[in-house]
Amino acid sequence: MDFKNLHIKGMEDKHKISILIFLLKNGPSMKSKIYENISTNPRMADKINELVEMSLVTVDQRKFENNAMFVDLTPKGTTVAKKLYEIELVISERSDPN
């Protein structure tokens, strides 16, 4: 296996996993809500764009909601987010209340 070219390395960047789990738990969310709950890091928009490039999330501008930008999981993103959340539960030794 070529460990230098693992696709999962794209998830190692800070906040990407948190974004996916946040969307899994909260559904489609405005970018501003993601920033409020995860980080106000000025690179958050770049991280979301990278998740778009990985086909894990979509970004949709909703004109009827004051041009708010909504982020949502793709089907692939939902699968990845669920697995990452399972890992979180194992690490934290909790069970999912849902």
pLDDT of 7:
75
From 26-30, 40-44, 45-49, 60-64, the region with the lowest mean pLDDT: 60-64
CA–CA dist 38, 83 (Å, integer): 19
Question: Does residue 9 have a pLDDT over 90?
Answer: no
Taking residues 18-39, report their average pLDDT: 95
Q: Where are the domains of the chain?
A: 12-89
Q: How far is the C-alpha of 96 from the C-alpha of 17, rounded, in Å?
A: 17
Q: Where does the pLDDT of residue 65 fall: very low under 50, low under 70, confident under 90, or very high at 90 and above? A: low
CATH node for 12-89: 1.10.10.10
